[in-house]
Structure 1
Amino acid sequence: MTITLSPAEWTSYKTAHRTRVDLLLADHMERRKRREPHPVEDFLFTYYPTRPNQLRVWHPGPGVRLLGATEYDGRRGYRYVDGAASVDPAEVERRADSIQWIRRLLAATADRQPQFGCFGLHEWAMVYRTADVRHQAWPLRLGVEGTDRVVESHKVACSHFDAFRFFTSAARPLNVLQPTRESQPVLEQGGCLHANMDLYKWACKLMPFTPSELVLDCFELARDIRTLDMRASPYDLAGLGYTAVRIETPAGKAEYAAAQRGFAARARPLRHRLVELCDRLHASMPR
């Protein structure tokens, strides 16, 4: 089924999208003007490669024709035929392998039982027995020795490769799993904060085919998860107004696991929407 939108219709969607983006990014853009780093929110623009100007571009997704949308003529991923812009099936076909890999990962993660017992120790393992900490402007809440003791006194069970690869060399052998890129579809699970943050990454990887509403829904989830991720980290971010989730205590563990479950519930429908998008793209490829 194809939907055709008039210029008045699609420009209203585009305007509403840009308004939403500008509201979401207002604080980040103000800090960027002042060249003021932020250890929590900058992650969404440094670790993830999508730039603010890319987020501001509205994409309708597959199955939508935009009448008179000459601004999309020549834009990668689109074709302009008979006075209307729409997703280019040839570009979808060119990216078929990537789309299929993303679908496989997302579907496998959705089918796997989520786990809620890691307590965010990946951030602690990234500073274990090293002076080379990522956020040097912010002190470790328990100091160097106290941080190391937390790692050594807990079971470290990180299933996410892109978190595990930042572990210090001393911390890697302590992890009960040894994730690799190849094992990612086998190990990734829906209780993991980073797997759920990465829904934003996969939504962006699938652009311009991903409807922009879905991209921003994933962005908002990633932003909220990142806040918990750093509140539960070894860094003392009280100066920025963040209350620590003290995962080294029973109460902190309970608070962290409860928040994890909430994020897993929010992530589940977004993951399914991305799988459905991949299926639609696959179905649109030339036969």
Structure 2
Amino acid sequence: MTAALAPATALDAADWQARRRAHEERVDAWLTPHLTRRRGGVKHPVEDFLFTYYSHRPAQLRRWHPGAGVALRDADPAEFGRDYRATAAGLTLDTDGVRARRAESLAWIRTLLAATAGRPAHLGCFGMHEWAMVYRQTQDEIRHNSWPLRLGPEATAAVVEERGVRCSHFDAYRFFTAPARPLNVLTPSRETQHALEQPGCLHANMDLYKWAYKLSPLVPSELVAECFALAREIRALDMRASPYDLADLGYPPVRVETPEGRAEYAAAQRGFAERAAGLRARLLAALD
């Protein structure tokens, strides 16, 4: 008998439906404002990021899965999709089938998560990656050009040159401007991602959302939502510490160009690293 046909937990209909409703209500609080803005053609540089940068669609985030090893009594197979099988205990995820189909990607994700978890957190980047993404660009050229730079292009460039850049995350580094890349102490690539990613990095911790949804439906949707919630808070810090002036949107700056701002950033970064460690451990446990 396969693991998929021997669930560890069976949930009555009232219990799993309550979990599903709670998940949908939590997610709707994030989705509704985003979808309203999207229909109106309004862009938000902070709140829309997780929906535009990552590939997980709003409807996918809202859809609930119980995770591996759970049987749902009185569940309709048509509601849950091809990865579920009817068993004597209830509707159950075909865990072995999902693992076999995704073996290569699951192994890649597990290696990355374990390697990242095994390293010390480095907290000395002070958010300069966002500054490197606008380095030596004009106001018209910058990514979020509807919003001004707090210090202007020349002063922004001077901060980057004075502080230097210490970014270990490839998916941040690849958005650096061409003149900013030589200023980074590392040259991250997709091939070196397993060797360089570290648990103090805001983007590595934000990416826990990506790894969680890529592990769905093997992990419960509540865990995906928790990773999303953390990523959403991290994005807010990321943009508060960026060179953009987003005060009118309700995001007061963390002035990392000053000693006080750098201390504030590092303290928040440490807190996020601690929270991310627990989520990373839960994802690894689900994989194992």
TM over 0.5, shorter chain: yes
Determine if contact 1:127/1:167 at 8 Å carries over to the other structure. yes
Alignment length (residue pairs): 279
**Pair 1:50-2:56 in alignment:** yes
Residue of structure 2 aligned with 1:9, choices 8, 15, 19: 15
CA apart distance, 1:241: 1.5
Match of 2:217 in 1: 208
Deviations along 1:168-203, one digit per CA (max 9) or x if unpaired, are: 111111100001111111110110000000000000
Aligned-partner residue type, residue 113 of structure 1: P
Match of 1:97 in 2: 104
Measured in 2, the distance between the counterparts of 1:215 and 1:55 equals: 8
Match of 1:33 in 2: 39
Give the match's secondary structure for 2:207.
Answer: helix
Match of 1:259 in 2: 268
Match of 1:65 in 2: 71
Residue of structure 2 aligned with 1:127, choices 125, 128, 134: 134
Give the match's secondary structure for 1:153.
Answer: helix
Aligned-partner residue type, residue 131 of structure 2: W
Determine if contact 2:68/2:217 at 8 Å carries over to the other structure. no
Match of 1:136 in 2: 145
Match of 2:192 in 1: 183
Deviations along 1:57-105, one digit per CA (max 9) or x if unpaired, are: 1110000011222144671432234473222121221101111111110
Residue of structure 2 aligned with 1:236, choices 245, 258, 266: 245
CA apart distance, 1:277: 0.7
CA apart distance, 1:7: 1.8
Determine if contact 1:77/1:92 at 8 Å carries over to the other structure. no
CA apart distance, 1:242: 1.0
CA apart distance, 1:53: 1.0
Deviations along 1:121-150, one digit per CA (max 9) or x if unpaired, are: 000001111232110100111111011101
Determine if contact 1:68/1:83 at 8 Å carries over to the other structure. no
Determine if contact 1:73/1:85 at 8 Å carries over to the other structure. no
RMSD over aligned Cα atoms? 1.5
Determine if contact 2:85/2:93 at 8 Å carries over to the other structure. yes
Match of 1:172 in 2: 181
Measured in 1, the distance between the counterparts of 2:39 and 2:80 equals: 31
Greater displacement, 130-139 / 266-275: 130-139
Give the match's secondary structure for 2:10.
Answer: strand
Aligned-partner residue type, residue 158 of structure 2: R
Q: Structure 1: 5+ residue runs without aligned partners?
A: 280-287
Measured in 2, the distance between the counterparts of 1:265 and 1:27 equals: 29
Measured in 2, the distance between the counterparts of 1:159 and 1:255 equals: 21
Q: Structure 2: 5+ residue runs without aligned partners?
A: 1-6
Measured in 2, the distance between the counterparts of 1:266 and 1:76 equals: 34
CA apart distance, 1:30: 2.8
Measured in 2, the distance between the counterparts of 1:109 and 1:83 equals: 38
Determine if contact 1:124/1:151 at 8 Å carries over to the other structure. yes
Determine if contact 1:77/1:209 at 8 Å carries over to the other structure. no
Measured in 2, the distance between the counterparts of 1:242 and 1:40 equals: 9
**Pair 1:154-2:160 in alignment:** no
Determine if contact 1:70/1:80 at 8 Å carries over to the other structure. no
Match of 2:4 in 1: none
Determine if contact 1:200/1:219 at 8 Å carries over to the other structure. yes
Match of 1:284 in 2: none
Aligned-partner residue type, residue 254 of structure 1: A
Measured in 1, the distance between the counterparts of 2:80 and 2:37 equals: 34
Match of 2:125 in 1: 118
Measured in 2, the distance between the counterparts of 1:190 and 1:44 equals: 19
Match of 1:282 in 2: none
Aligned-partner residue type, residue 184 of structure 1: Q
Measured in 2, the distance between the counterparts of 1:86 and 1:32 equals: 36
